[in-house]
């Protein structure tokens, strides 16, 4: 806009300058003969018309340049808005995945806690938690020895419960790893939920894994320090 105003001002100045120069040169006045005025008009037309045509062309070019600049700025703004919307959608999708994953984590841990804390062993008179509290050395803990012996029988209820626990621990491991990745994408920091469940189940994993009652692979992941 400033450039256009400058051109308009320049055109006006040129026109006035030319008129003043001609009047000063030829001494025109309202009483001058019509032939002089005709010659004056022809001179003005031949001098100012090309100048105004050139200025009009420059104005047109500047208008096109300004429009292109505005289009570029508009495209940049559209790109920025599109990127912001894409990022927002990504965050929403990430949050939805986190919420869904956490719901499954709650279901799995609820089932784990029942098998761990309820009296489901030794003919439903002891909980696995209480057995492990007595120590995971079957040479010193009779209840743990009975559990160890029972797990050698693949048809026993104790063996089946231990295998259910093993399956849920693997599932929980995968869920927590996925949940932690989703949190890292969002905040760039590890999720405290992993440490919580590590503390919650590390004793269980160590007791069963070190005695071969569950897979040794569980000893070397997020459940074990």
Same domain, 105 and 209: yes
Same domain, 57 and 117: no
Residue 20 domain-assigned (yes or no) = yes
CA distances from 212 to 137, 196, 215 (A): 12, 25, 7
Task: Please tell me the predicted confidence (pLDDT) of residue 149.
Answer: 93
Same domain, 103 and 178: yes
Same domain, 136 and 213: yes
Same domain, 35 and 136: no
Domain's final residue, options 84, 110, 128: 84
C-alpha to C-alpha distance for 199 and 60, rounded to whole angstroms: 74
Same domain, 100 and 195: yes
Task: Please tell me the predicted confidence (pLDDT) of residue 187.
Answer: 72
Number of compact structural domains in the chain:
2
Residue 14 domain-assigned (yes or no) = yes
Same domain, 59 and 132: no
Same domain, 118 and 78: no
pLDDT tops 70 at residue 163? yes
**Average confidence (pLDDT) over 104-112:** 95
Task: Please tell me the predicted confidence (pLDDT) of residue 136.
Answer: 86
pLDDT band at residue 75, thresholds of 50, 70 and 90?
A: confident
Ranges assigned E (strand) in 94-186: 119-121, 126-127
Residue 169 domain-assigned (yes or no) = yes
pLDDT tops 70 at residue 130? yes
CA distances from 171 to 107, 134, 162 (A): 11, 27, 14
Residue 117 domain-assigned (yes or no) = yes
Residue 41 domain-assigned (yes or no) = yes
C-alpha to C-alpha distance for 82 and 74, rounded to whole angstroms: 12
Task: Please tell me the predicted confidence (pLDDT) of residue 112.
Answer: 95
Same domain, 31 and 100: no
C-alpha to C-alpha distance for 77 and 10, rounded to whole angstroms: 35
Task: Please tell me the predicted confidence (pLDDT) of residue 108.
Answer: 95
Between 215 and 37, name the one with better pLDDT.
Answer: 215
Task: Please tell me the predicted confidence (pLDDT) of residue 122.
Answer: 83
User: Two tokens at 107?
Assistant: 């279901």
Task: Please tell me the predicted confidence (pLDDT) of residue 21.
Answer: 67
The share of the chain scoring above pLDDT 70, in percent, equals 75
Between 157 and 66, name the one with better pLDDT.
Answer: 157
Residue 197 domain-assigned (yes or no) = yes
**Average confidence (pLDDT) over 110-119:** 94
pLDDT tops 60 at residue 2? no
Residue 176 domain-assigned (yes or no) = yes
Query: Do 182 and 94 touch, CB atoms closer than 8 A?
Result: yes
pLDDT band at residue 117, thresholds of 50, 70 and 90?
A: very high
Task: Please tell me the predicted confidence (pLDDT) of residue 3.
Answer: 60
Task: Please tell me the predicted confidence (pLDDT) of residue 164.
Answer: 95
Residue 225 domain-assigned (yes or no) = no
Range of the domain at 160: 95-220
pTM for the predicted model, two decimal places: 0.61
* Average pLDDT value for the chain: 81
Across 23-27, 45-49, 109-113, 175-179, least confident range: 23-27
Domain's final residue, options 84, 111, 130: 84
pLDDT tops 80 at residue 142? yes
Between 93 and 131, name the one with better pLDDT.
Answer: 131
Domain's final residue, options 84, 105, 137: 84
Task: Please tell me the predicted confidence (pLDDT) of residue 132.
Answer: 93
Same domain, 183 and 139: yes
């Amino acid at each position: 806009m400033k450039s256009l105003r400058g051109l308009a001002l320049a055109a006006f100045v040129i026109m006035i300058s030319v008129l003043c120069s001609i009047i000063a040169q030829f001494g025109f006045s309202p009483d001058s003969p019509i032939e002089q005025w005709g010659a004056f008009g022809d001179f003005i037309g031949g001098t100012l018309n090309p100048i105004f045509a050139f200025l009009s062309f420059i104005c047109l070019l500047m208008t096109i340049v300004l429009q292109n600049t505005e289009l570029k700025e508009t495209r940049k703004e559209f790109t920025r808005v599109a990127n912001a919307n894409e990022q927002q959608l990504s965050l929403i999708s990430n949050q939805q995945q986190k919420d869904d994953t956490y719901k499954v984590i709650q279901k799995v841990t609820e089932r784990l806690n029942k098998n761990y804390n309820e009296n489901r062993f030794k003919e439903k008179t002891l909980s696995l938690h209480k057995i492990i509290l007595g120590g995971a050395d079957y040479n010193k803990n009779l209840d743990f020895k009975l559990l160890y012996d029972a797990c050698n029988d693949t048809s026993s209820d104790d063996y089946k419960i231990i295998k259910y626990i093993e399956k849920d621990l693997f599932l929980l491991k995968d869920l927590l790893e996925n949940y932690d990745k989703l949190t890292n994408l969002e905040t760039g920091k590890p999720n405290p939920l992993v440490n919580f469940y590590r503390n919650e189940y590390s004793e269980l994993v160590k007791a069963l894994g070190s005695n071969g009652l569950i897979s040794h692979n569980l000893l070397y992941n997020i459940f074990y320090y």
